[in-house]
A and B are shown apart, each in its own frame.
Chain A
């Protein structure tokens, strides 16, 4: 969708390898979020950012790290991927109390 792009859209990786997912926005929104979506669990917050270099943990942050060195980019890193991290990952952006606007998602498979 216009304004927010996730890359890659699909990725297959092996257990133990590092993986980085990228979220890029052109909206200059302050807040950026990473969610994972699994059947039966809905959307669960991994990490979020409220400004450049300002990040905080969500409810399922173990095994994940994030970085935001520029307003437009929010990176999610799996330092050593595990099969339990197979999921669909959504990035979302927001300004203040506005609605979340989601990216198209990244489908990650860890074999």
Chain B
């Protein structure tokens, strides 16, 4: 089942902050975040495992609320290079398949303008 991302799109001026949310109706093992620039492959940003941890990468950080099955990606002091589409991927145990399944949301298009 696809996680739900919000907002679908956001426009920022350089230096502004943004939050992208990702929620699932299923119990999750982990949440992945990727960024994709136009015409390129998605690139890994970070993984958050269940346990409510928060991670950071430069001025991009994320949190995972295991109880609510929600994750948020925080972009602070945005730069032009942050532009792209951000995808969350939620991972859960699929008993039918006998393996972990990673399912992506539809993405959030972030545009940073000067």
Contacts and interface: CB of A to CB of B under 8 A. Distances in A.
Interface of A: 1, 35, 40-45, 50, 56, 59, 90, 97, 99-105
A35 B42 CA distance: 11
Interface residues of B, number: 23
Consensus secondary structure, chain B interface: strand
Given A42-B105, A50-B99, A103 B41 contact: yes
Contacts of A50: 99
A105 B41 contact: yes
9 contacts: A35-B104, A41-B106, A43-B89, A59-B103, A97-B47, A99-B32, A100-B89, A100-B102, A103-B41
Interface of B: 2, 30, 32, 34, 40-44, 47, 49, 87, 89, 97, 99-107
B107 A42 contact: yes
A40 B106 contact: yes
A43 B87 contact: yes
Contacts of A43: 42, 87, 89, 104
Contacts of A44: 104
Contacts of A42: 2, 87, 104-107
A103 B43 CA distance: 10
A97 B97 CA distance: 16
